[in-house]
Structure 1
Amino acid sequence: MTAPQHNKFDQPVGVTVENWQPCALPPATAMIGQHCRVEPVDPAKHADDLFAGNQIAANGERFTYLGTDAFDDVESYRKWLETMRGPDPMLHAIIDLASGKAVGVAAFMRIDTTHGVIEVGNINYTPALSQTIAGTEAMYLMMKRAFDDLGYRRYEWKCDDQNLPSRAAAARYGFVYEATFRQHMVYKGRNRDTAWFSITDQEWPIVRAAFEAWLAPQNFDANGKQVSSLQNLRKSLADN
């Protein structure tokens, strides 16, 4: 981290951001990887697959920490998707390239183009996407769009601080824990203390390189098991 500068009053101030210009909103175009395609959600096109995928985990536990409960029928789910099409939040469907099915969603949200801050949220992976290469690649593609394509300076992840799987996922992907905002909101009739995580543009090059090394075919054995973890790859890159 660069040391603060001092102004004419000898007060410490933040470093100058040279030639800063506000960022653009994310475009409504697909992000394509080797295992998945991440595209703006189209309720008519994606709702059936996503609803069916969530029904495999029909007890609704995957919705515990989301803003809605599990949907009772595909039509109510489709109507909810219509409210999430952007520009903020801009929900995306994650398409498994092998099956061609929509198997999860994630949104760009709380988009601050003036200051270059964007959050990824409303993440809901069906069982078909959880703990897969495609699931990790989807997060990489969305980060890459924010940092490399659009020039955002800060990429955020927020979750209920009781949501241990989400906290673990944030750490795995390279987000840095910052703080917990106590009594940040009320949802589903209960308190939410919110854990805040972020990746900055200064951290992104190592985070990106670790994703790319992890996603490389040689990082997986014949059974599809990873050779090196994402965390170990990032640590190795940071140490060198």
Structure 2
Amino acid sequence: MPTTELHWQPATLPDKSTLEGRFIRLEKLDPARHGDDLWAALQGPTSDPALWDYLPYGPFFERSEFDAWLSRHAADIDPWFYSVVDQQTGVVDGYLSLMSIVPAHGRIEIGHVMFGAAMQRTPKGTETIYVLAKAAFALGNRRLEWKCDDGNQRSKRAAERFGFTFEGTFRQHMVIKDRNRDTTWYSITDQEWPALQAAFEGWLAVDNFRDGQQVRTLESFRKR
């Protein structure tokens, strides 16, 4: 069967531009400006130690070790880390990255998602994924990936809520912290993104919240 010509042009790499939302903005990770807030959000007394369970690094018990990790990754091109800044308070509540960046094929992934308590179960977390997904497709990518440990139920539920499509599980894919990791794969394609973008925007709209609570679920905006 003949292949369909795409007249494909490679995607563009992310840059240091700040990505703006209503609740949050995403700034390129800067340890000097963001380090104190990230340490408090992710390692402070109110932080959730389970955040580190499925990551290949952390938790960090010494601030110097944490700062060294931030500095290494702030200099990386892939992954490309962003800090999540609350638009009202200016406080940094977490970080995440674009990674596995393959411009030649238009493939990119959202990963290293670490949201502190101030972001969990709030519109800030959903808007963060929306803003970064929108940016990923604006760069010209054809495919946005989400991968996680098959045992990470929180990450799997999040991927499904955000509209990623389950693609399968890579068995015995990695060894993380001396444990086997089966990796579950999800994706969104550029053809799927316009409808998902409209659903995100409908959910994030001012009139979808009353007294801080959602009127309709994100999933319901995809079922119209």
- 2:213 aligned counterpart, secondary structure: coil
Contact 1:56 1:127 in 2 (8 A): no
- Provide the identity percentage: 44
Q: Deviations over 1:54-90 (max 9, x none)?
A: 2244562110011212111322111101121221011
1:27 equivalent in alignment to 2:15: yes
Contact 1:48 1:74 in 2 (8 A): no
Report the residue type matching 1:120 in the other structure: I
What TM-score does the superposition give when structure 1 sets the normalisation length?
0.90
- Distance in 2 of aligned mates of 1:166 and 1:37: 22
Match of 2:132? 142
1:93 equivalent in alignment to 2:83: yes
Aligned pair count reads 222
**CA 1:194 to 1:57, structure 2 compared with 1: closer, same or farther past 3 Å?**
farther
**CA 1:205 to 1:197, structure 2 compared with 1: closer, same or farther past 3 Å?**
same
Superposition deviation, residue 132 in structure 1: 1.1
1:218 equivalent in alignment to 2:199: no
1:130 equivalent in alignment to 2:120: yes
Contact 2:24 2:127 in 1 (8 A): yes
Q: Equivalent of 1:175, from 164, 167, 173?
A: 164
Moved over 2 A (4+): 56-59
Match of 2:94? 104
- 1:129 aligned counterpart, secondary structure: coil
Q: Deviations over 1:119-173 (max 9, x none)?
A: 00000000011111111111111011111x2110000000000000000000011
Match of 2:111? 121
Contact 2:40 2:47 in 1 (8 A): no
- Distance in 2 of aligned mates of 1:230 and 1:58: 26
- 2:194 aligned counterpart, secondary structure: helix
Bigger Cα Rg: 1
- Distance in 1 of aligned mates of 2:66 and 2:82: 15
What TM-score does the superposition give when structure 2 sets the normalisation length?
0.96
The higher-RCO structure (CA 8 Å, 6+ apart) is: 2
Superposition deviation, residue 16 in structure 1: 2.6
- Distance in 2 of aligned mates of 1:98 and 1:136: 17
Report the residue type matching 2:78 in the other structure: D
- Which stretches in structure 2 are left out of the alignment for 5+ residues? none
1:52 equivalent in alignment to 2:36: no
- Distance in 1 of aligned mates of 2:113 and 2:48: 18
- Distance in 2 of aligned mates of 1:126 and 1:82: 20
